[in-house]
C-alpha cells in the first residue's frame, strides 16, 4: 500500500475534525452596577437581552484585522456608569456582509469615546462643551482601522440602559426595563419586551412585536412595522418610509411620516393622530369613541369605525371626493367637504388631505 498517498488526505480530515470541535474564543465580560447605564460602540451587531442578576452585563466579541487595537473603557461618564469601545481612529472600516459596502456614517466623537447623550437633551451643557470632538467616518469598505465589536447587553428587570452605535443591526428580546437604542444606520427589531423603549436611528427599518409599555420610534429613513403593542403612549416618526401596525392599544397614538403610507389595523385608542406629507392612510378603529386627526398632503384616506361609533365629523379634501356609509346628522356636505355628527358626537374626527379621496366606512 502507498502510505504517502493516503497520509495527506487523512491528515486533512483529522485537522478539520479538530478545528470543528475547537472551543470558540470566550467573549470579554464586563459587569456594571448602578442605574442609567450607558454604552457606546461605533460598529457591530448589538443584542439586548435580559440579565439574570442585578448588574448590567456587557459581553464583547472583537472582530476585524485590527481588532486587537480596540480598547474598552469602563470609568463613569459624568457620574453615570458607562462602557465605551474606543477605536482611536478617525476612519473605521466595518466589513459586514449584511451591510452595504458603500454605506458610510459620519459623526463627531468626543475625546472620551462618547457622542449624543446628555448634550442633545440639553443637560450638563457646559460640561459637554468642554470636551473636544473629532469627526469620525465608519464605512463598509476602504482604508482605515478594520475593526468592530459585537455586543450582548444584558439588562436586569426595571433597569435603565442607553446604547449608542453608529452602524450595525440591533436585536432586543424579552427585555423589561427603560431602554434607549440610538443608532446611526442598521435595522432594529424588538420582540416580547416591556417597560419603556425608545428606538432612534438615522436609517434602517424598525420592527416591534409584542411590546407592553410606552414606545417611541424615530427613524430618518426606513419602514416601521408594529404588532401587538399596548401601553399609555405610542409615538412613531419617520422621515421617509411606510408605517404598518396591527393590534395597537394606547391612550395616545401619534404617527408622523414625511413620505410614506400609514396602515393601522385593530386600533384601540382615545387619541389618534396621523400626519404624512405624502402617502395614503388606512385606519381601522376598534374604539367607539376616539379623537382622530388625519392630515396628509397627498394621498387617499380610509377610516373604518365600529358599530356604536360616535364623533363630530369634519372632513376636507382638495380633490378626490368624500364617501361615507355612516348614519350622520349632516351640517355641511359638498364634493370636498363633509361636516356632521355621528351618534351623540363629542370626540372630533378630523380629516384633511390636499389630494386624495376620503372614505369613512362602518366595520362589517
Q: Which residue has the higher pLDDT, 6 or 28?
A: 28
pLDDT band at 351 (very low <50, low <70, confident <90, very high): very high
Residue entry with cell 411620516: 257
Q: Is the dihedral of CA 154, 158, 164, 170 positive or negative?
A: positive
Does residue 150 contact residue 45 with C-beta atoms inside 8 Å? yes
Does residue 292 contact residue 310 with C-beta atoms inside 8 Å? no
Can you give the C-alpha Rg of the chain in angstroms? Answer: 26
Q: What is the pTM of this model?
A: 0.89
Cα–Cα distance for residue pair 20/9, rounded to 1 Å = 17
Cell of residue 291, nine digits: 379623537
Q: What is the mean pLDDT of residues 59-79?
A: 96
Q: What is the mean pLDDT of residues 139-155?
A: 95
* List of residues 6+ apart from 38 with CB closer than 8 A: 77, 80, 81, 82, 83, 114, 117, 161, 162, 163, 164
176-185/337-342 β-pairing: unpaired
As separate numbers, helices (DSSP H) first and strands (DSSP E) second, the chain gives 3, 29
pLDDT band at 132 (very low <50, low <70, confident <90, very high): confident
Interior angle at CA 57, CA 158 and CA 189, nearest 5:
70
Q: pLDDT of 247-283, one tens digit each? A: 999 999 999 999 999 999 999 999 999 999 999 999 9
- In this predicted structure, what is the pLDDT of residue 97? 76
Mean pLDDT rounded to a whole number for the chain = 90
Cα–Cα distance for residue pair 175/177, rounded to 1 Å = 6
Interior angle at CA 257, CA 256 and CA 262, nearest 5:
90
Q: pLDDT of 86-127, one tens digit each? A: 999 999 999 987 766 667 889 999 999 999 865 444 444 444
Amino acid at each position: 500500500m502507498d502510505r504517502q498517498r493516503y497520509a495527506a488526505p487523512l491528515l486533512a480530515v483529522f485537522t478539520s475534525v479538530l478545528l470543528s470541535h475547537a472551543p470558540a474564543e470566550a467573549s470579554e465580560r464586563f459587569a456594571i452596577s448602578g442605574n442609567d447605564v450607558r454604552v457606546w460602540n461605533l460598529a457591530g451587531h448589538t443584542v439586548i437581552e435580559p440579565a439574570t442578576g442585578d448588574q448590567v452585563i456587557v459581553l464583547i466579541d472583537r472582530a476585524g484585522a485590527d481588532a486587537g487595537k480596540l480598547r474598552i473603557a469602563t470609568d463613569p461618564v459624568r457620574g453615570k456608569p458607562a462602557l465605551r469601545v474606543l477605536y482611536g481612529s478617525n476612519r473605521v472600516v466595518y466589513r459586514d456582509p449584511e451591510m452595504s459596502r458603500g454605506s458610510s456614517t459620519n459623526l463627531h466623537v468626543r475625546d472620551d469615546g462618547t457622542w449624543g447623550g446628555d448634550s442633545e437633551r440639553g443637560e450638563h451643557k457646559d460640561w459637554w462643551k468642554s470636551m473636544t470632538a473629532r469627526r469620525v467616518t465608519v464605512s463598509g469598505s476602504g482604508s482605515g482601522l478594520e475593526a468592530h465589536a459585537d455586543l450582548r447587553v444584558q439588562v436586569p428587570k426595571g433597569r435603565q440602559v442607553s446604547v449608542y452605535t453608529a452602524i450595525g443591526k440591533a436585536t432586543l428580546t424579552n427585555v423589561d426595563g427603560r431602554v434607549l437604542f440610538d443608532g446611526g444606520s442598521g435595522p432594529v427589531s424588538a420582540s416580547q419586551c416591556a417597560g419603556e423603549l425608545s428606538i432612534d436611528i438615522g436609517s434602517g427599518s424598525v420592527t416591534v412585536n409584542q411590546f407592553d409599555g410606552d414606545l417611541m420610534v424615530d427613524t430618518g429613513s426606513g419602514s416601521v412595522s408594529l404588532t401587538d403593542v399596548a401601553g399609555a403612549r405610542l409615538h412613531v416618526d419617520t422621515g421617509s418610509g411606510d408605517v404598518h401596525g396591527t393590534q395597537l392599544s394606547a391612550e395616545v397614538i401619534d404617527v408622523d411620516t414625511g413620505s410614506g403610507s400609514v396602515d393601522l389595523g385593530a386600533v384601540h385608542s382615545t387619541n389618534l393622530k396621523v400626519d404624512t406629507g405624502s402617502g395614503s392612510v388606512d385606519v381601522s378603529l376598534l374604539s367607539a369613541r376616539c379623537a382622530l386627526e388625519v392630515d396628509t398632503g397627498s394621498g387617499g384616506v380610509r377610516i373604518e369605525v365600529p358599530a356604536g361609533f360616535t364623533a363630530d365629523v369634519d372632513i376636507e379634501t382638495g380633490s378626490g371626493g368624500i364617501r361615507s356609509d355612516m348614519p350622520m346628522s349632516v351640517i355641511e356636505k359638498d364634493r370636498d367637504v363633509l361636516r356632521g355628527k355621528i351618534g351623540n358626537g363629542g370626540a372630533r374626527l378630523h380629516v384633511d388631505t390636499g389630494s386624495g379621496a376620503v372614505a369613512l366606512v362602518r366595520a362589517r
